């Protein structure tokens, strides 16, 4: 049986617990949530993981795996110390690795603990093909993200154009994945995931559009290199509990846990 500690019990964490409910191969030992979110976490736990205790930190707990579903701040607060203690971790909030030195800090903590941190594919597909292509040599990786205009509210795009008044697609950003992670941290997970699978943050090209013609998040990836080329377009349905989150992100967490707990994985 795989015993896990879940970091975060918001929309993603709660949905993961629901999908894992009744799985005899996986046990949720604890759910880590800030004090202000304890009541919500306890209510979710009571329904989907009644055996789990709700706490503010892992403290002395030693689960088989730590599963981060809480956002960028949780990577530094909970994942780094868990890795240093030798506990393997899987991370959803890959955009956090766009912060200077964070990727190196995770790698060093995992090395000190003689363990491993796995970056999950989240809302995007094709990561296996991209990472395999890198082995033979990648030349270019271009990611284009499109969202409805108002989905960019609260970002630098709001100052660059009239989001509510757009009648056609407007490019709000063009640059590297590193710059995209800095300017659009809450929207950086997909670009960062592609960057770490492929050419890195500086060489991965990113274009972001506010597009009134789309009603969902549209991800398009083009990659070329010694392997040949591929293009992927993914239209992500939002999570019912949180329209800002892709449902595929939740499914990628559950898939990773299934792969670790079952005799046959893919």
Ligand-binding site membership of 123 (annotated): yes
Q: For domain 127-242, give the fold.
A: Dihydrodipicolinate Reductase; domain 2 (3.30.360)
Could you list the active site residues?
A: 219
Q: 27 pairs with which residues across the strands? A: 3
The answer to whether domain 2-119 and domain 127-242 are alike in fold is no
Strand order in the sheet with 170-176: 170-176, 205-210, 138-147, 217-225, 228-236
pLDDT digits (tens, 9 = 90+) for 66-93: 999 998 899 999 999 999 999 999 999 9
Q: What H or E segment, with its residue span, contains residue 27?
A: strand 26-32
Rg for the chain, CA atoms, rounded: 19
Ligand-binding site membership of 114 (annotated): no
> What's CA 226's distance to the chain center, in Å?
28
**Distance, first Cα to last Cα, the chain:** 19
Give the global pTM: 0.92
Q: Where are the domains of the chain?
A: 2-119, 127-242
Query: HSE (CB half, 13 Å, CA atoms) of 188?
Result: 27
Q: Does domain 2-119 have CATH number 3.40.50.720?
A: yes
pLDDT digits (tens, 9 = 90+) for 89-142: 999 999 999 888 999 999 999 999 999 999 999 999 999 999 999 999 999 999
- Eight-class DSSP state of 185: G
């Amino acid at each position: 049986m795989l015993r896990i500690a879940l970091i975060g019990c918001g929309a993603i964490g709660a949905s993961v617990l629901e999908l894992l409910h009744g799985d005899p191969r996986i046990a949720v030992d604890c759910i880590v949530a800030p004090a202000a979110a304890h009541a919500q976490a306890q209510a979710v736990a009571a329904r989907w993981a009644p055996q789990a205790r709700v706490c503010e930190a892992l403290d002395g707990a030693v689960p088989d795996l730590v599963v981060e579903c809480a956002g960028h701040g949780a990577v530094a607060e909970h994942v780094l110390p868990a890795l240093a203690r030798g506990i393997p971790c899987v991370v959803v909030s890959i955009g956090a690795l766009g912060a200077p030195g964070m990727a190196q800090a995770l790698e060093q903590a995992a090395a000190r603990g003689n363990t491993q941190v796995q970056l999950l594919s989240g809302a995007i597909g094709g990561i296996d093909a991209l990472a395999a292509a890198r082995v033979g040599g990648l030349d270019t990786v271009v990611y284009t993200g499109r969202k409805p205009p108002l989905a960019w509210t609260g970002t630098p795009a709001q100052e660059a154009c009239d989001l509510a008044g757009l009648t056609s697609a407007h490019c709000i950003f063009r640059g590297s994945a590193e710059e995209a992670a800095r300017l659009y941290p809450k929207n950086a997970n997909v670009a960062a995931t592609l960057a770490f699978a492929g050419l890195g943050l500086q060489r991965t090209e990113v274009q972001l559009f506010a597009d009134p013609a789309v009603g969902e998040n549209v991800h398009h990836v083009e990659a070329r290199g010694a392997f040949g080329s591929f293009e992927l377009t993914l239209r992500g349905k939002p999570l019912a509990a949180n329209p800002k989150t892709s449902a595929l992100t939740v499914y990628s967490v559950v898939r990773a846990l299934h792969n670790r707990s079952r005799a046959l994985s893919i």
